[in-house]
Structure 1
Amino acid sequence: MSTAETGAVPPPEVMTIASPINLILLSLFIILIYTQFRPKAPVTLPKSPAPIVFRTFTPTTLLPFNGTEDKPVYLAVRGRVFDVSPGRNFYGPGGPYENFAGRDASRGLACQSFDEEMLTKDLKGPLDELKDLDGEQLENLQSWEERFSEKYLVVGKLVAESDPEAVKA
């Protein structure tokens, strides 16, 4: 006889906590809690470059800053020395403007010439005063100087070897 014929009520099904769906949900909950509260790796900041100190350069003390031997690349424009190291591929060894690295680039930039002839040969002599440049050349130089000022840090000034400031430096 079936339970329907006898009028008896079937026994209630026992719900277990360990059902497969509950185990899956519990596992997902534990994974979620773990990912939220697990120990995080300590944050490490990138190492900062050495601080750059504004200083006075002479043509001979500027010369070593040409990008060789992992040194920074500096060049001077109208007495201001710029750190052009971020543009090492242009101004450093092998770059199109490598002649200007570690030198006063004013005349070459003004004349739009990257030849060796544009560089001052006598490093112990006076700085090039650029008095013989015409208006167009001075305008070229001004635009280069503005570009460098916007893009690169000024790290010093360039003075002649005979300048009293050169002796102090």
Structure 2
Amino acid sequence: MAFDTISLSALSNPLNIVLFLVLLLLVREFQASETNLQLPAHPPEPIVLKRYTPQTLLPYTGEKSNPILVSILNRVYDVSRGAQFYGPGGPYSSFAGRDASRCLAKVSFADDLLADPSGPIDKLEDLDGDEWQTLRDWATQFEFKYDHVGFLVENGEDLDA
């Protein structure tokens, strides 16, 4: 008898009815979202990190079915999912297949800031504190947004090491 009195008084309060309906909707939504979760058909292939020299990086511009690779701080990233930016005709296309560290540090698109691919890797020794911070910010963005696929090493170094 006491249970009937409690349930009737609970249902007589409109706020309790609204809260009960919200709770039911939340439970239903949670159950629906659990059933919609689908695992991929197969896990993605693991990325095997490769070594690139400035010269071997050059072809990776998104042309001729090649992926688009960009190096920052001697780490090479596959930026193909950002082809509208780094691919042919994109605003950052001059960075494709190159070490873009100095340009990104100086927030510049000037081609003369790109190191000569036949020369040594730019050591960036003359960057000031603000430029280093800008470059680190770019590197962090690339690390989270794009796949790290390798390392930039000096021309002439063994790529299989």
The TM-score with structure 2 as length reference comes to 0.69
Sequence identity percentage: 47
Task: Supply the distance in 2 between the matched residues of 1:76 and 1:101 (Cα, whole angstroms).
Answer: 8
Q: CA deviation at 1:118?
A: 1.2
Aligned length: 122
Indicate which of 106, 109, 123 corresponds to 2:104: 109
Question: Deviations for 1:26-59, whole angstroms, at most 9, x for unmatched residues?
Answer: xxxxxxxxxxxxxxxxxxx889987643100001
Q: Which runs of structure 1 show a deviation greater than 3 angstroms over 4 or more consecutive aligned residues?
A: 45-52
Q: Which residue of 2 aligns with 1:139?
A: 133
Q: Which residue of 2 aligns with 1:126?
A: 120
Task: Supply the distance in 1 between the matched residues of 2:79 and 2:41 (Cα, whole angstroms).
Answer: 21
Equivalent runs, 1:43-82 vs 2, <5 Å:
52-82=47-77
Structure 1 residues 140 and 84: alpha-carbon distance in aligned structure 2, compared to 1, 3 A threshold: same
Q: Which runs of 5+ in 1 are unaligned?
A: 1-44
Task: Supply the distance in 2 between the matched residues of 1:50 and 1:70 (Cα, whole angstroms).
Answer: 19
Structure 1 residues 119 and 70: alpha-carbon distance in aligned structure 2, compared to 1, 3 A threshold: same
Q: CA deviation at 1:102?
A: 0.3
Is 2:144 the counterpart of 1:158?
A: no
Q: Secondary structure of 1:156's match?
A: strand
Structure 1 residues 95 and 49: alpha-carbon distance in aligned structure 2, compared to 1, 3 A threshold: farther
Q: Which residue of 2 aligns with 1:30?
A: none
Structure 1 residues 101 and 149: alpha-carbon distance in aligned structure 2, compared to 1, 3 A threshold: same
